[in-house]
Amino acid sequence: MTLLDARTARLLPWIVAIAFFMQTLDGTILNTALPSMAADLSEDPLRMQSVIIAYMLTVALLIPASGWLADRFGTRHIFFGAIALFSLGSLLCAVSQSLTMLVIARIIQGLGGALMMPVGRLVVLRAYPRTELVRIMSFITLPGLLGPLIGPTLGGWLVEYASWHWIFLLNLPVGALGCWAAYRFMPELRGSERTRFDLIGFLLFGASMLLITMALEGLGELHLPHMRVVLLLLGGLACLAAYWLRAARTPNALFPPRLFNTRSFAVGIFGNIFARLGTGALPFLTPLLLQLGMGYSPAQAGMSMIPLALAAMAMKPLAKPLIDRLGYRRILTFNTVLLGLLITSMALVDGETSHVQLAIQLSLIGAFNSLQFTAMNTVTLIDVPDSEASSGNGLLSVVVQLSISMGIATGAALLSGFSLDNPDAAGGVLSAFKSTYLCIGLLTILAAGIFLQLAPEGGRSARRVKVDVDE
């Protein structure tokens, strides 16, 4: 663990939170603006998920290199460059004149996004004791949740009264502040040993994620024949298998298989993959439901998302006491089931649903989703040895981005499929949304079985140390 001076120790969580704020603000504004962007670019709004997936897939592909780059060139340089690159991508998005240009600009944004949060979280892992991990992680995500709070409402108003281009320009002043703070206060941490970058492993792992995501996209936006989808999926799984077989005998593997010898890490990784398939689709589906299925304006849709963000923020301070009292196994098992049921309850929403009922449903989803993310991320890393913190943190970051991307692709594929089943039926769009919510809710519930595999005392050793220190 690296010792920080008192001022840096106070400011470092805020610097990482600025990066998280930029990403969440960008993503939540974009979700609300998709229908208006589609109209301006002459595209089908149900096929606009490529704008989101292009960013997330780029992030997932490049995150494996984040730990190595930070160890080799230092956390300050990489973090500063990441914010600058993200800001440049935002500017290019704002001046895009076509969907193709917009997707390319989002890829450039993704180059910066792939480094911002992983490097920031890596600094936290190395600079603070594990007994402080839950508190620091909750603190970092709490300011970042201002993005989901401000984003949908601000995005809706900007789209309705200005233009969607301004949603990207908002990142520029925040990026300038982040660059200054990173250059001034971010500690320059490097790895203790210089290792070679596992290029072959990086290519195999990246190819597997790209092919699997393209397979899911083929069922949705791309409408590929089923044979091609199967071939893409099998190709992705083959690349993934080749990576793990190679990693078992490679000393400098990106993600060494021995990470999975830590039980809480293994459960956390697989739990993140499957639990986020459902929750990852929510930010994409809900603004579309409100605008396309219920006739809300962009501003109304944005305002309707405020309860979700407020409840998520309110839950953050409660996460650590709940985890301390009940343990990770109970929290994650029951919370996953409850979250899945709340997602399926969105199938009850229709044109007759009152604003109060919708606000209650979204508030509950926001609160329990917030608790889910805090518990999943913390249990994944809390028992990982310091020597493997970089690899473990990198793999978690990849899994988070990839599972959200896959969740969006899965939700879009389900929505497209159900829409095609009843293209001429009255209320066909709303019916497709209902069926999609039922499916992703059930997927989330099934993920609870993974968290049952946690040891009853998993992660508790670090919390006991924290109690002793406090006393």
Domain termination site, one of 252, 280, 295:
252
What does the pLDDT look like over 266-276, one tens digit per residue? 898 998 888 88
Asked whether residue 142 carries a pLDDT value surpassing 60, the answer given is yes
Ranking 314-318, 342-346, 443-447, 462-466 by mean pLDDT, the lowest is: 462-466
Res 105: pLDDT: 92
Cα angle 224, 43, 297 (rounded to 5 degrees) comes to: 125
CA atoms within 13 A on the CB side of 88: 12
Q: What is the mean pLDDT of the chain?
A: 80
Res 460: pLDDT: 52
Mark whether 115 and 66 lie in a shared domain: yes
Q: What interhelical angle do 49-62 and 199-219 show, nearest 10?
A: 160
Contact, 89 vs 106, CB < 8 A?
Answer: yes
Contact, 30 vs 42, CB < 8 A?
Answer: no
Mark whether 277 and 322 lie in a shared domain: yes
User: CB 131: neighbour CB atoms within 10 A?
Assistant: 18
Q: What is the DSSP track for 66-116? A: HHHHHHHH-HHHHHHHHHHHHHHHHHHHHT--SHHHHHHHHHHHHHHHHHH
Q: Which two tokens stand for residue 61?
A: 């592909």
Domain termination site, one of 157, 178, 194:
194
> Residue 147: which pLDDT band, with cuts at 50, 70 and 90?
low
Domain assignment of residue 463, yes or no: no
What CA–CA distance (Å, rounded) separates 366 from 99?
31
Mark whether 287 and 370 lie in a shared domain: yes
Better-predicted residue by pLDDT, 121 or 345: 345
Contact, 419 vs 432, CB < 8 A?
Answer: yes
Domain assignment of residue 39, yes or no: yes
Contact, 344 vs 285, CB < 8 A?
Answer: no
What CA–CA distance (Å, rounded) separates 24 from 28?
6
Res 465: pLDDT: 31
Asked whether residue 421 carries a pLDDT value surpassing 70, the answer given is no
| Domains in the chain, number | 3
Mark whether 204 and 190 lie in a shared domain: no
- Three-state SS sequence of 381-439: HCCCCHHHHHHHHHHHHHHHHHHHHHHHHHHHHHHHHHHHHCCCCCCHHHHHHHHHHHH
Mark whether 208 and 141 lie in a shared domain: no
Alpha helices (H) along 256-388: 263-279, 282-288, 298-304, 306-344, 355-381
Res 88: pLDDT: 93
What's the mean pLDDT in 373-400? 80
Res 2: pLDDT: 54
What domain range includes position 218?
Answer: 198-252
Helices (H) and strands (E) in the chain, counts: 20, 0
Asked whether residue 46 carries a pLDDT value surpassing 70, the answer given is no
Mark whether 172 and 260 lie in a shared domain: no
Domain assignment of residue 33, yes or no: yes
Domain assignment of residue 459, yes or no: no
The domain spanning residue 45 has which CATH number?
1.20.1250.20
What's the mean pLDDT in 245-259? 83
Domain assignment of residue 469, yes or no: no
Domain assignment of residue 466, yes or no: no
Asked whether residue 156 carries a pLDDT value surpassing 90, the answer given is no
Q: Tell me which residue of 293, 281, 225, 232 sits closest to 410, measured CA to CA.
A: 281
Asked whether residue 466 carries a pLDDT value surpassing 50, the answer given is no
Domain assignment of residue 88, yes or no: yes
Domain termination site, one of 194, 214, 241:
194
Better-predicted residue by pLDDT, 424 or 194: 194
- Cβ contacts of 97 within 8 Å, gap of 6 or more: none
Mark whether 303 and 210 lie in a shared domain: no
Mark whether 187 and 225 lie in a shared domain: no
Better-predicted residue by pLDDT, 216 or 112: 112
Domain assignment of residue 32, yes or no: yes
Res 241: pLDDT: 92
The C-alpha torsion from 70 through 5 and 180 to 370, rounded to 10°, is: 70
Mark whether 95 and 209 lie in a shared domain: no
Asked whether residue 461 carries a pLDDT value surpassing 60, the answer given is no
- 8-state DSSP, 43: -
Mark whether 13 and 121 lie in a shared domain: yes
Mark whether 96 and 158 lie in a shared domain: yes
What's the mean pLDDT in 217-233? 73
Q: Which two tokens stand for residue 194?
A: 């210089």
What's the mean pLDDT in 208-231? 74
What does the pLDDT look like over 304-349, one tens digit per residue? 878 887 888 788 788 888 888 888 889 999 999 999 999 999 988 8
> Residue 168: which pLDDT band, with cuts at 50, 70 and 90?
confident
Res 338: pLDDT: 94
Mark whether 269 and 409 lie in a shared domain: yes
Contact, 366 vs 307, CB < 8 A?
Answer: yes
